[in-house]
Every structure is written in C-alpha cells, then in structure tokens.
C-alpha cells in the first residue's frame, strides 16, 4: 500500500493488524509519535489523518491508504519551528516532554478547526490528551499564544 506521511509517499507491505504507530516508529523511523498506553486513553500517539486528530496506537495502518498522515516531524523543523512549538517552549508547557508531540498535534487540529479558541474551547479540544506531569495550565496558555502567533502570521 501507499502511505503518505508528512507529504512523503511510502510504498509498504503492511499486515492488516499493524497499527499506524508501529509503522511510523518501526518502519519509517518517525519516533516523535510516542506510545504510552497503547489503548487510546492518553493521546501521546496523536497524529493527524486528513487534518483530524487520531490515536495512532488504535489506527490500523492499512486504513490510512489514500489519506494524508501528519506527525510532529512534519509540523516544523529545527531551524523553523511551528508557532505551536515556539509557544510550548515560551510557556514551558512541558515537563518530561513525553506527551508533548501528541499535545502539539491535537492543538494543531484544534487551531485548524477553531483559529481563535477560548480557554474553554482549548480545554475541551485538548481533553483527549493526558499529561502525567500536570502541565495543563501552561499547555492551555501555549495553545492560546500559538493561536495569536498564527493569526499575526496570517495578517502579515
């Protein structure tokens, strides 16, 4: 099958039972997507499939044929961080950092759908992503800041 990840097509032989996270990490070397619970309860493995957030641990890779999969590696680059990555750094919106890629990908989907979210909308939109360190207030501030940064960039 052909799997398109971060705009790059990959032709892969995939078994029907293989999860998207297993393919991303094991075959494509995209280790930014984390595996924490493996049961769709924490959100650490959140990626975007056709712009919508999805738990890569629960998604069968074969179901992604023809879809556009985006991971944290496709969001920004070290020399040019995405506004969400900049805001997470500026607001120290992480502690251990394990959940951060999933948090950022969920936030990217939220901001694509709701470019000017309220604090309540951010809290609701991010509710499927857990942070064991409890950085939630900083995560909310970072997402709100990123929304402003993206709006300013659109206006420039």
Residues 112 and 64 in one domain: no
pLDDT band at 156 (very low <50, low <70, confident <90, very high): low
Nearest to 91 by CA among 126, 128, 50, 137: 137
Q: What is the C-alpha separation between 106 and 112, in angstroms, rounded? A: 10
Q: Tokens for 75?
A: 């969001």
Residues 70 and 88 in one domain: no
- List strands edge to edge, sheet with 2-5: 8-11, 2-5, 68-70, 46-49, 52-55
Kindly report, residue by residue over 33-92, the tens digit of the pLDDT. 999 999 999 999 999 999 999 999 999 999 999 999 999 999 988 889 999 999 999 999
Q: Is the pLDDT of residue 102 over 90?
A: yes
Using alpha carbons, list the distances in angstroms from residue 152 to 83, 122, 131, 143, 145.
Answer: 10, 19, 29, 14, 11
Q: Tokens for 61?
A: 């890779």
Domain end marker among 19, 41, 74 = 74
Give yes or no for a contact between 43 and 55, defined as CB atoms under 8 angstroms apart: yes
Residues 96 and 36 in one domain: no
Look at residue 76 in the predicted model and tell me its pLDDT: 87
* Angle at alpha carbon of residue 71, lines to 68 and 75, rounded to 5°: 100
Residues 98 and 146 in one domain: yes
Residues 20 and 69 in one domain: yes
Total residue count of the chain as it appears in this document: 156
Percent above pLDDT 90 for the chain: 96
CATH of the domain at 7: 3.10.20.30
Look at residue 13 in the predicted model and tell me its pLDDT: 96
């Amino acid at each position: 099958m052909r799997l398109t990840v971060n705009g790059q097509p990959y032709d892969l032989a995939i078994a029907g039972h293989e999860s998207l996270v297993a393919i991303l990490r094991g075959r494509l070397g995209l280790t930014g997507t984390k595996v924490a619970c493996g049961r769709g309860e924490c959100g650490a493995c959140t990626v975007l499939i056709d712009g919508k957030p999805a738990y890569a641990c629960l998604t069968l890779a074969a179901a992604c044929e023809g879809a556009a999969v985006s991971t944290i590696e496709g969001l920004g680059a070290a020399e040019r961080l995405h506004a969400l990555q900049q805001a997470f750094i500026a607001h120290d919106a992480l502690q251990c950092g394990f959940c951060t890629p999933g948090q950022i990908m969920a936030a990217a989907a939220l901001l694509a759908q709701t470019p000017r979210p309220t604090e309540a909308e951010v809290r609701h939109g991010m509710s499927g992503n857990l942070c064991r360190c409890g950085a939630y207030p900083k995560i909310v501030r970072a997402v709100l800041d990123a929304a402003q940064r993206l709006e300013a960039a659109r206006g420039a």
